[in-house]
Chains A and B, each alone.
Chain A
Amino acid sequence: MTQLTAVLADIALLAKPALFNLYFAFASIPIGFLFAIFLALGKASRHGLLRRLSSSYIYMFRGSPLFIQFFMIYSMVLALNLSVWKPLGIDGIVLNPLVLGPVVLALNTTAYTAEILFGALTSVPRGEIEAARAFGFSPGTRFRRIVWPHMIRLAWPAYTNEVVFLFHATTLVYFTLPVIDDQKDLMTKAGELFQRDFNVLLHYSVAGLYFLACSLAIFVVSGLIYRRLTRHMPGAAQRWRFTLISPLR
């Protein structure tokens, strides 16, 4: 019984920290998704310079650990503090983990998502694009009405993984950035509780439960969306569901 009360106590204690992880994810994922669309189109562009720039960006952020990206960007931002941020009076905003954290996460997920979307873009049925050209669709209409629905459907399973991965990666924010006041996330709070009684199993399990619960929610919502995206393909969503709860990165 004391076990159960200890677990319940931890669940209560970790509820607010969980909100910080959710905040980091929700603040970065939509921005990253939006930028990734443009980056993917850039990588697929016929314009040589645009293609190279997009590919380089994707390579840089996919090719290095997120952990190091946090350190690099934080130290660069810090280096500019006295010369730029302070004189502008925005040092409190720029250096705030609640701002800088989502920025770094967004930069990172932009690259991964762009690569996923780019892969999807190259798999859009050529014949359907050609038909749209033959019927006189403008490039914009072609993208919106024909390319995008295929692209997002093809990208969706991989993108779901990226979202879950990014959600888990929110734990890296406070590995690099300073905790201000009581703005702790799940990992820092679990670490603090661990320092009191050295009960690893309890505190990190409960923190892990929060991640499991949120991931499950993501899977369920994503599955519903996927079902909608594949409604014209009998059986596709059902097939995917079996691979859904497979080990992630």
Chain B
Amino acid sequence: MVIATPRSPRHVDAMSIPVVELSGIHKSFGANAVLRGISLIANEGEVITLIGSSGSGKSTLLRCINLLEVPEQGQVRIGGEDVSLSLPGPHRRPTNETQIRRIRSELGMVFQSFNLWSHMSVLDNVMAAPLRVQGRDAADVRAEAMATLAKVGLAEKAEAWPAELSGGQQQRAAIARALCINPRVMLFDEPTSALDPELQVEVTRVIRLLADEGRTMVLVTHDMGLARAISSRVLFLHQGLIEEEAPPETLFTAPKSARVAQFLKASSGG
């Protein structure tokens, strides 16, 4: 368990430039209404953390940001640009695939189960999107990929296959892969949940480092210590709505909602 160390508040920027704006997001799977009208803003340099019990729709909300899920109602704006979607309804689709791909190439996603491309070396994983999607120069990309791997402490594993790495190393490689596209926002979906406690620490350390650099991030996590340490604001999801949204120092010490209090009690006890 990482002990929360108070850090300078991140939510007092003089100028707030919204990078991710979700408004009125609805999403259901069949009869299961998972998101029922959620709005979220992540400003430049902020770390927004989503917490809530299992099945509350945290992953679904995160996946709406890069359109891995298409919300049937509501609007997604990335860097001030509206994502163009067809008319609201269960069959809503992006109307501009090129726009979707461009926006995705500016959002670095890190998955709970790493999802490294297992047939590529670690270095090729990190270089793939910059080369194949962003079309950048190969020599530049290679140099940047090596620097990024060094940053997450994996320089000597560049030529290894993902299968040869520990879980913690795989997740750090996945973070390097997301970093190397120079994303506007990093999206983390429970990056440490699949890891043993000792391995969680090495990944958490990297995430904290990124937070300290002032990167914009949206993070789903069950690690309350991490949430407390790096968040600008914490959002608690419950039954498809945001039950409470507050800076961590408020939410974790004096939650307004009884449900949040109950959740925090359960997760600190567990």
Contact = CB atoms under 8 A, between A and B. Distances in A.
Interface string A162-178: 00000000000000000
Contacts of A12: none
B129 A137 contact: yes
B102 interface: yes
A149 to B, nearest CB: 5
Contact of B104 (A128, A136, A146, A149): A136
A131 B114 CA distance: 9
Contacts, number: 71
Contacts of B109: 131, 134-135
A134 B129 CA distance: 10
A135 B117 CA distance: 12
B119 A232 contact: yes
Nearest to B117: A128
A127 B111 contact: yes
Interface in B206-230: none
B115 A130 contact: yes
A232 B105 CA distance: 26
Contacts of B103: 136
A150 B104 contact: no
A123 B205 CA distance: 34
Nearest to B103: A136
B39 interface: no
A136 B133 contact: yes
Interface in B129-176: 129, 132-133, 161-164
A136 B113 contact: no
A145 interface: yes
Given A127-B113, A130-B111, A234-B163, A135 B133 contact: yes
Interface residues of A, number: 21
* Shortest beta-carbon contacts, A-B, top 4: A136-B104, A136-B105, A127-B115, A131-B115
Contacts of A149: 119
Interface of B: 66, 68, 100-105, 107, 109, 111, 113-120, 128-129, 132-133, 161-164, 177, 181
Interface string A127-149: 11011111111100100011001
A64 to B, nearest CB: 37
A68 interface: no
B132 A233 contact: no
A16 interface: no
A127 B132 CA distance: 19
Interface of A: 125, 127-128, 130-138, 141, 145-146, 149-150, 153, 232-234
Given A136-B101, A136-B105, A131 B117 contact: yes
B107 to A, nearest CB: 8
Given A133-B104, A138-B101, A234-B163, A125 B118 contact: yes
Contacts of A127: 111, 113-115
Listed residue (A130, A131, A153, A232) with the most chain B CB atoms within 10 angstroms of its CB: A131
B117 A146 contact: yes
A150 B129 CA distance: 18
Contacts of A135: 104-105, 109, 128-129, 133, 177, 181
Contacts of A146: 117
Contact of A128 (B100, B118, B129, B161): B118
B163 A233 contact: yes
Contacts of A136: 100-105, 129, 133
